Amino acid sequence: ASALPPTPPLQQARPGCSVYEQACRKRSILPKFIRAVHEGCLGRELDLTGLSLGDLQLEALLCDAALVPAEKVNRWRLRDTRISAQGVGALMGVLNWETELLNLARNDIGLKGMRCLAGRMGEGRLPRLRSLDLSSTGINCTTLVLLSKALLQCPFLLRLDLNHNGIQDGEPLGEMVAEHTHLSRLSLNNNYLSGRAVGAFFEGVLQNARNGGQISDIGIAWNGFGKSNALAGAEAIAAVLAESVTLYHLDLSYNSLDSDGCAAIGTGLRDNHHLYGLHLVGNSATMDADGFLQPLQDAGLPGQVQAGALPGQLLSGDPRMFSVNCLASGKTAHKPTPQRSLTRRNNDSVTSLATACSSGSEVPLSENDILRERDDLEQASTCWACEGWTRVELEWQGARGEPQ
């Protein structure tokens, strides 16, 4: 048998990377993120978004102060890096007091990871944190309580994103918002807030406004609180709209609010001259560019099929309901009216929908159909803030001698 060829000598690591390579050897992983970290480290910002590092790679990178100068970095963008509680614990150990931005979105950090983060903030070791993104991190009622208390130790926090979590209780956030004087933007889209939870949250927002707070942008779209104690939530929102002079933008899209809830919100808008953007698509109301809100009646179908019998208990604000309204009114779906524009592109779906309605069977619309057809509706926004509209005065001077 021939002898094996000699093993080629290992290449010497480049200066500044040897510590990372040694840390990788100890963890039995490949040192494959050197170039990505060099490209993502820009001054005082480290952007590793979407690199799928994992806990062990993050730990190895943080061991190398030359590769990741944690003492200088104050903006950490770690969205979708596949880290868990172990990685969060390693990160909390190197964060400096000057940290301003922390993005941990789309990482399953769990209860243990949230305790590490809350402990760091609760000790007052992140006093200059201005932006925190914890979207899609698995926050539930237990972790929300820990987080809400710890956030009060971040007095300069301006933006908080908690989208796509399992938040069901609005009271802890309401209590935090009531006492936080600098927080200006809070996003709670795609959670599970009921009408009662929304009411508790907006009670805190109202207290914030009375205490001279700075809340200006709130998003609670896709929570569906219109299906449970909707009026309580709507009345709390109306109270904020009636008193707040700082709330600039409010997103209530796709919450299945009925006409009574929308009418309650309209009452709060009656004397409001500070709100520049309001999103109400997906609820039983329409809003024009001048800010006039018009509640709609809950949609129903003739005969045995009623709105309450449809899948998901659809209301007239639900994007799936526009095809149903068209059929219920006895008109065809091919007329290019604004409310029926959703049905023009899918005549087969409309035909099958009509057959289903006449036979009393379920409406054959998939979730993909709903999401695809939702975009047309959202393009027609009347939000002054999102569309960048500004008020323009037009002055017309008539010719001499003409009556004014």
1-39: pLDDT as tens digits: 556 566 544 444 455 457 999 999 999 999 999 999 999
Residue type, 204: G
| 140-149, 152-161, 330-339, range with the lowest pLDDT | 330-339
192-213 pLDDT, tens digit each? 999 999 999 999 999 999 999 9
How far apart CA 64 and CA 24 sit, in angstroms, is: 11
Q: Quote the pTM value.
A: 0.75
320-335 pLDDT, tens digit each? 343 333 323 333 333 3
> CB-based contacts of 291: which residues, under 8 Å, 6+ apart?
269, 275, 278
Q: H/E element holding 68?
A: none
Residue pair 81/51 in contact (Cβ under 8 Å)? The answer is yes
Res 189 pLDDT > 90: yes
Beta strands at 285-287 and 293-295: parallel, antiparallel or unpaired: antiparallel
pLDDT band at 382 (very low <50, low <70, confident <90, very high): confident
Q: Work out the burial of residue 4: count CB atoms within 10 Å of its CB; fewer than 13 is exposed, 13-18 middle, 19 or more buried.
A: exposed
Q: Which DSSP letter does residue 93 get? A: T
- Confidence (pLDDT) at 370: 41
Res 244 pLDDT > 60: yes
34-58 pLDDT, tens digit each? 999 999 999 899 999 999 999 999 9
pLDDT band at 374 (very low <50, low <70, confident <90, very high): very low
336-351 pLDDT, tens digit each? 333 333 333 344 443 4
Mean pLDDT of the chain: 80
The CA distances from residue 10 to 13, 16, 32, 246, in Å, are 9, 17, 16, 62
> Strand pairing partners for 45?
42, 75
What's the start-to-end Cα distance of the chain, in Å?
A: 110
Residue type, 173: L
Q: Work out the burial of residue 115: count CB atoms within 10 Å of its CB; fewer than 13 is exposed, 13-18 middle, 19 or more buried.
A: buried
